[in-house]
Structure 1
């Protein structure tokens, strides 16, 4: 009688482990390309809007050279110029750090980005052919707790780039 119970427990453990592994693989696979950056409205010069595309599959990083201020109504479009392999190495882990909880947000504006001239972060992913983007406040008190580690990662990586 103990063998069926033990077998059931083993199957349950295997099933739960398999689901977790598959979920992580799907998240990583879907985030092979991530567009990210920062923007400041009350700013002068080239560094006011910096948007990059990191492609894990192609192992490349590119910078958007149009420097258009991000809007909540549509994802950023532009012209991307490839950067060096060394610069790619500085940000290659960002797609894997993307918090899947962000996909459940009902709005694409998180907090009040750049409302008090503090700037904001731009994040974009494409899943199933659908582009989704978010404008995220730099004030961590104004964003959900799950998003704070990712915002910290963005801040560090953006400081490393040209």
Structure 2
């Protein structure tokens, strides 16, 4: 059994043995989150951050590249202050376990009507999974609603 199958099996087991709203924190990895807009001009069009759960550090991407649904985001990260890290340190613990069981890719129709999208990437046990998530709640599963609300609030707090 390869590492990805082992990780996925563990996540599935955790999901089906716990409650539906169970949260999972990346173990020994990081969480990359962000918000992006395609029809936009300026620095605020793409805001992507990396929360390192091991080093307890926050980094901001300076590449500001539009995320792809084909591969994980490859950013250039600059260390941010410890007080900013403290603002988002709990976010990795709030990633819904059900999201981790979903295939990598698109959830809803992110940036379809110039509404933008959220980027979420989890690295755990050496595996990277990522999603482009619609900002319109009526286009995404209910289990993501509270998480995207928190995600949006945390990203806004970092600007």
User: Among 53, 70, 74, which residue is 1:73 paired with?
Assistant: 70
**Within 1, Cα distance between the matches of 2:158 and 2:39?**
21
* Offset at residue 78 of structure 1 (A): 1.6
Structure 1 runs of 4+ aligned residues shifted over 6 Å read none
**Would you say 1:138 and 2:111 are equivalent positions?**
no
Q: Matched residues in 1 for 2:98 and 2:127: separation?
A: 17
Give the structure 2 partner of residue 3 of structure 1: none
- Match in the other structure for 1:116: 113
User: Which of 69, 84, 87 is equivalent to 2:84?
Assistant: 87
- Sort the Cα spacing of 1:132 and 1:39 in 2 relative to 1 into closer, same or farther, 3 A: same
The correspondence of residues 41-60 of structure 1 with structure 2, limited to 5 A, is 41-60=38-57
> Rg: which structure is higher?
1
d(CA) in 2 for partners of 1:126, 1:75:
10
Higher relative contact order (CA 8 A, sep 6+): 2
In structure 2, C-alpha distance between the alignment counterparts of 1:43 and 1:98, rounded to whole Å = 28
Gaps of 5+ in 2: 1-16
Partner Cα separation in structure 2 for residue 151 and residue 138 of structure 1: 8
TM-score norm. by structure 1 comes to 0.81
Distance 2:92 2:156 in 1: 17
In 1: Cα distance, 2:72 partner to 2:26 partner: 21
**Kept in 2: contact 1:31–1:95 (CA 8 A):** no
1:92-140 CA distance string (max 9 Å, x none): 1000001110122235200000000000000001122121110000001
Equivalent residues of 1:31, 1:98 under 8 A apart: no
The CA RMSD measured in Å over matched residues stands at: 1.8
CA contact (8 A) 2:26 2:53 kept: no
C-alpha distance in structure 2 between counterparts of 1:131 and 1:93, whole Å:
20
Pairwise CA distance, 1:76: 0.6
Q: Does 1:33 align with 2:26?
A: no
- Of the three residues 94, 98, 101, the one matched with 2:98 is 101
Contact 2:28 2:54 in 1 (8 A): no
